[in-house]
Chains A and B, each alone.
Chain A
Amino acid sequence: GQQLNQSPQSMFIQEGEDVSMNCTSSSIFNTWLWYKQEPGEGPVLLIALYKAGELTSNGRLTAQFGITRKDSFLNISASIPSDVGIYFCAGRELNTGGFKTIFGAGTRLFVKA
């Protein structure tokens, strides 16, 4: 089946540092999504990307939809302690009507104040 490879698996950074994580897929997606999940909660959507090459920002977060439609990255600038959590990339395939979402395994972010 479809697989998303998300890296890195975890990151330990100092407050104020920039963070970058990425996702690659064996399938072409028509939508890339980035979610954040905190303990005891469901994932919350951070950024949605709908076109190849699209670059979108949400505050200190920036994400891009790769040209090949098989990859995406998320950058977080000037990290703060509340950025701690698990970040998931997710994709929706071109031929499924867009509702079936495939998730990566997550990047666990730890921020030291």
Chain B
Amino acid sequence: GAGVSQTPSNKVTEKGKYVELRCDPISGHTALYWYRQSLGQGPEFLIYFQGTGAADDSGLPNDRFFAVRPEGSVSTLKIQRTERGDSAVYLCASSEQGAGYNEQFFGPGTRLTVL
């Protein structure tokens, strides 16, 4: 079956602009996660959804970052007033449930470049 897909694969924007990154999880997966991966680093947790609600958004770096999952499937990560430091690969993952033993399946990521 289809894995996690993310669009766009690459996004180049200018400082101060608004961007939206989309994640389509594996069908039937109730849990969805966003991570940010900077060059040479491991993924850094941003936010976790269980269904439609954000169960933990403690990883969002500031209030310019926001994510939604209105129907419990597709999620959008929104970044306002982008800064050069926001440049990174944004990874999405999904799992059958949120807790414990359920493997997270990652998408290929969206590479965001802020000029």
Contact = CB atoms under 8 A, between A and B. Distances in A.
Interface of A: 4, 6, 31, 40-45, 48, 50, 88, 90, 96-106
B48 A99 contact: yes
A97 to B, nearest CB: 5
> Interface extent on B, as a size class?
20 to 34
A105 B40 contact: yes
Given A90-B42, A106-B41, A101 B108 contact: no
Given A42-B93, A42-B109, A101 B56 contact: no
A68 B76 CA distance: 39
B99 A42 contact: no
Nearest to A44: B106
A106 B39 CA distance: 11
B72 interface: no
Contacts of A44: 106
Nearest to A42: B106
A32 to B, nearest CB: 13
21 contacts: A40-B108, A41-B106, A42-B91, A42-B93, A42-B106, A42-B108, A42-B109, A44-B106, A88-B42, A90-B42, A96-B56, A97-B100, A98-B100, A98-B101, A99-B33, A99-B55, A101-B45, A103-B44, A105-B41, A106-B41, A106-B42
